[in-house]
């Protein structure tokens, strides 16, 4: 329940689209780096009040969930949660920043907007690049950029690589750029993946000791390099091994001759659970055909998965990996669900597709497999 609660908090705060402010020209900073304020109110005070108001609203939102004593009360509290209007706080903060983006206090405001509010406003990244490149606070933004899902930070990371002498910043910027290119090129763009590979290699060799969370850039980069060099679309999937719920040792090559969807998931993962109805329909439509859906559970306890399956029909093949290495290391699993679509020869044909896109891909590959079998029989 703890993981579910944490996930719900994150989802309620940020599940809605991340809004960006209007792309209107920014207000020019005053010549003396001061801006008109309400009497008795400094920009720093206004920023402090905004943060306190946000924290108070988030605490009030979560209070019924924290005070729930039974599963029924928790589920009711979850159902009644209303997301905080992050857009309002972002809009108010951007107005405050644009009163004087050069001011030192604006750097902290921008960092808060881009990390705590997850703003994707490109102008804010521009202000950091132009006015605050040497400010230590932007290291927090680079940690966010390392996820590779903030392309608006690309100019900032490029500027750091060109001008900064700070090893940590340069390392994080290198890794962040690599991650950005990786995410943009994962659909088959060879040019972007080549750029990502080069930068991950540099992050590993030149900035390997730089910390990223509880690990190092070397370790994180090596995982991505493995994905690029061994786990990309068009490569043969490594012969990953696991165990069934009955404890039988199995490996992916046992399913040669079939189209395989490998679904790496956990019962506590909301997006994973959301896929179950469409997966049921897919399995039903593929009955009797050369197809196998294999769900690989990362639940810490096998009993958790078994109890879940008693209540939630999932009539297909299940492996239990547990919350340990195994498949997680072999496939550099970074998020759930992770999806691999493998053809009858074991070649990776698609990654991380869902819904209609997954259905259409499977249908096409199964048809190819059936036609190849008929041709071979003749």
Asked if 87 and 126 sit in the same domain, the reply is: yes
Helix (H, G, I), strand (E, B) or coil at 122: helix
Asked if 58 and 197 sit in the same domain, the reply is: yes
- Tally Cβ neighbours within 10 Å of residue 147: 12
Given a cut of 90, whether residue 251 has pLDDT beyond it is: yes
> What is the rounded average pLDDT of the residues 313-323?
97
- Tally Cβ neighbours within 10 Å of residue 237: 21
Please indicate, yes or no, if residue 35 is contained in any of the structural domains.
Answer: no
Asked if 206 and 253 sit in the same domain, the reply is: no
Asked if 365 and 276 sit in the same domain, the reply is: yes
119 touches 128 (CB < 8 A): no
Distance CA 251, CA 240 (A): 6
Given a cut of 50, whether residue 4 has pLDDT beyond it is: no
> What is the rounded average pLDDT of the residues 268-286?
96
Range of the structural domain that residue 330 is part of: 241-372
* Amino acid 41: pLDDT: 60
Asked if 194 and 254 sit in the same domain, the reply is: no
Please indicate, yes or no, if residue 103 is contained in any of the structural domains.
Answer: yes
Asked if 106 and 165 sit in the same domain, the reply is: yes
Report CA dihedral (83, 86, 87, 90) to the nearest 10 degrees: 180
* Amino acid 297: pLDDT: 98
Backbone angles phi, psi at 135, to 5 degrees: -75, 125
Asked if 294 and 366 sit in the same domain, the reply is: yes
Asked if 14 and 89 sit in the same domain, the reply is: yes
Query: 254 has which bridge partners?
Result: none
Report CA dihedral (79, 84, 87, 91) to the nearest 10 degrees: 170
- Last residue of a domain, which of 230, 262, 291? 230
Distance CA 377, CA 39 (A): 87
In this structure, what token pair is assigned to residue 200?
């991950």
Distance CA 93, CA 54 (A): 11
- Last residue of a domain, which of 210, 230, 250? 230
Q: How confident is the model at residue 147 (pLDDT cuts 50, 70, 90)?
A: confident
Asked if 205 and 319 sit in the same domain, the reply is: no
CA 147 to chain centre: 7
Please indicate, yes or no, if residue 186 is contained in any of the structural domains.
Answer: yes
Asked if 91 and 206 sit in the same domain, the reply is: yes
Nearest to 292 by CA among 259, 254, 320, 337: 259
* Amino acid 34: pLDDT: 38
CA angle 270, 225, 330 (to 5 degrees): 55
* Amino acid 264: pLDDT: 98
Nearest to 29 by CA among 127, 132, 152, 138: 127
Please indicate, yes or no, if residue 17 is contained in any of the structural domains.
Answer: yes
Nearest to 113 by CA among 131, 138, 132: 138
Over residues 69-115, the pLDDT tens digits come to 887 888 788 888 888 999 999 999 999 999 999 999 999 999 999 99
- Last residue of a domain, which of 230, 259, 286? 230
Q: If you average pLDDT over every residue of the chain, what do you get?
A: 88
Helix (H, G, I), strand (E, B) or coil at 120: coil
Distance CA 49, CA 202 (A): 42
Domain count, the chain: 2
Please indicate, yes or no, if residue 174 is contained in any of the structural domains.
Answer: yes
Helix, strand, coil shares, percent, the chain, to 5? 55, 10, 35
Given a cut of 80, whether residue 182 has pLDDT beyond it is: yes
Please indicate, yes or no, if residue 32 is contained in any of the structural domains.
Answer: no
Please indicate, yes or no, if residue 49 is contained in any of the structural domains.
Answer: yes
Range with the poorest average pLDDT among 144-148, 178-182, 279-283? 144-148
Per-residue CA distances from 47 to 19, 106, 148 (Å):
19, 9, 28
In this structure, what token pair is assigned to residue 98?
């644009």
CATH of the domain at 254: 3.40.30.10
Please indicate, yes or no, if residue 378 is contained in any of the structural domains.
Answer: no
Asked if 278 and 318 sit in the same domain, the reply is: yes
Query: 259 has which bridge partners?
Result: 291
Distance CA 293, CA 302 (A): 19
Backbone angles phi, psi at 325, to 5 degrees: -70, -105
Asked if 269 and 214 sit in the same domain, the reply is: no
Given a cut of 80, whether residue 14 has pLDDT beyond it is: no
Given a cut of 60, whether residue 24 has pLDDT beyond it is: no
Given a cut of 80, whether residue 30 has pLDDT beyond it is: no
Q: Are strands 241-243 and 338-342 parallel, antiparallel or unpaired?
A: unpaired
Over residues 103-131, the pLDDT tens digits come to 999 999 999 999 999 999 999 999 999 99
């Amino acid at each position: 329940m703890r993981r579910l609660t944490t996930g719900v908090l994150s989802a309620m705060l940020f599940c809605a689209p991340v809004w960006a402010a209007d792309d209107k020209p920014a207000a020019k900073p005053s010549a003396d780096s001061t801006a008109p304020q309400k009497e008795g109110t400094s920009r720093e005070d206004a920023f402090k009040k905004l943060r306190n108001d946000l924290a108070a609203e988030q605490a009030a939102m979560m209070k019924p969930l924290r005070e729930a004593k039974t599963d029924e009360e928790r589920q009711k509290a979850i159902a009644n949660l209303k997301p905080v209007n992050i857009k309002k706080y972002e809009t108010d903060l951007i107005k405050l920043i644009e009163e004087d983006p050069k001011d030192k206090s604006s750097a902290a405001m921008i960092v808060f907007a881009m990390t705590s509010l997850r703003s994707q406003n490109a102008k804010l990244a521009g202000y950091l690049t132009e006015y605050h490149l040497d400010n230590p606070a932007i290291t927090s933004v680079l940690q966010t950029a390392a996820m590779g899902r903030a392309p608006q930070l690309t100019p900032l990371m490029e500027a750091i690589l060109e001008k900064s002498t700070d090893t940590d910043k340069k390392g994080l910027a290198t890794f962040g750029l690599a991650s950005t290119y990786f995410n943009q090129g994962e659909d088959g763009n060879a040019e972007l993946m080549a750029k990502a590979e080069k930068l991950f290699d540099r992050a590993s060799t030149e900035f390997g000791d730089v910390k990223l969370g509880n690990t190092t850039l070397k370790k994180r980069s090596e995982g991505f390099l493995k994905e690029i060099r061994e786990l990309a679309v068009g490569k043969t999937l490594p012969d990953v091994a696991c165990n069934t719920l009955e404890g039988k040792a199995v490996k992916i090559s046992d399913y040669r001759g079939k189209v395989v969807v490998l679904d790496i998931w956990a019962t506590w993962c909301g997006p994973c659970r959301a896929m179950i109805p469409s997966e049921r329909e897919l399995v039903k439509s593929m009955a009797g055909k050369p197809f196998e859906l294999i769900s690989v559970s990362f639940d810490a306890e096998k009993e958790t998965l078994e109890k879940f399956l008693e209540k939630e029909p999932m009539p297909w093949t299940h492996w239990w990996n547990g919350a340990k290495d195994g498949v997680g290391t072999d496939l550099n699993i970074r998020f759930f669900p992770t999806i691999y679509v493998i053809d009858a020869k074991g070649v990776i044909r698609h990654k991380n597709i869902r819904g209609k896109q997954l259905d259409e891909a499977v249908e096409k590959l199964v048809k190819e497999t059936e036609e190849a079998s008929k041709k071979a029989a003749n």
